[in-house]
């Protein structure tokens, strides 16, 4: 069995963090959380997640600034980032404009909050290259 994907969820909305964490855990995805970019920058080098789910708009340090800093650090630039936002089109179908936005700031994908979190879990599994064999229900 492949090792479960390890995700850091960075979002200032506590309810969204808890709901997302519960859904991802049902998909056998290990989830750590941070409430802003400052916390994320402190914890990422220590935990080395496979993927970071990064809210774009947050207090203290937003997701774009944080992602740019992570991509400039040799110890963290290999970690894939998925932007989370309430802005723009649906995260289920990533538009060309969304793709350009992600690429410009170093994210590999984009997911609109309020979208189906099971689809987000599938994106994580695909991006991490980890299979979901023998999931416990």
Domain definitions of the chain by residue range: 6-128
- At residue 110's C-alpha, the angle toward residues 109 and 116, to 5°, is 120
* Rounded CA separation 36/19 (Å): 17
Q: How do residues 86-137 score in pLDDT, each as one tens digit? A: 765 444 444 566 667 677 777 888 888 888 999 999 999 988 886 544 333 2
55 in helix, strand or coil?
A: strand
Q: What are phi and psi of 31, to 5 degrees?
A: -125, 125
Burial zone of 43 (CB within 10 Å; 0-12 exposed, 13-18 middle, 19+ buried): middle
- Contact between 7 and 103 under an 8 Å Cβ cutoff? The reply is no
Q: How do residues 1-53 score in pLDDT, each as one tens digit? A: 457 899 999 999 999 999 999 999 999 999 999 999 999 999 999 999 999 99
Q: What is the pTM of this model?
A: 0.85
* H-run or E-run covering 117: helix 117-128
Check residue 93 and give its pLDDT: 47
CATH architecture of 6-128: 3-Layer(aba) Sandwich (3.40)
């Amino acid at each position: 069995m492949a090792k479960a994907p390890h995700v850091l969820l960075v979002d200032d909305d506590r309810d969204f963090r808890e709901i997302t964490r519960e859904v991802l855990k049902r998909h056998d995805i290990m989830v750590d959380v941070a409430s802003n970019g400052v916390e994320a920058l402190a914890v990422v080098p220590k935990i080395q997640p496979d993927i970071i789910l990064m809210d774009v708009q947050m207090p203290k340090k937003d997701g774009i600034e944080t992602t740019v800093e992570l991509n400039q650090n040799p110890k963290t630039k290999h970690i894939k980032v998925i932007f989370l936002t309430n802005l723009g089109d649906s995260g289920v179908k990533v538009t060309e404009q969304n793709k350009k936005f992600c690429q410009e700031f170093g994210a590999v994908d984009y997911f609109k909050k309020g979208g189906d979190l099971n689809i987000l879990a599938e994106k994580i599994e695909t991006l991490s290259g980890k299979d979901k064999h023998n999931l416990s229900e």
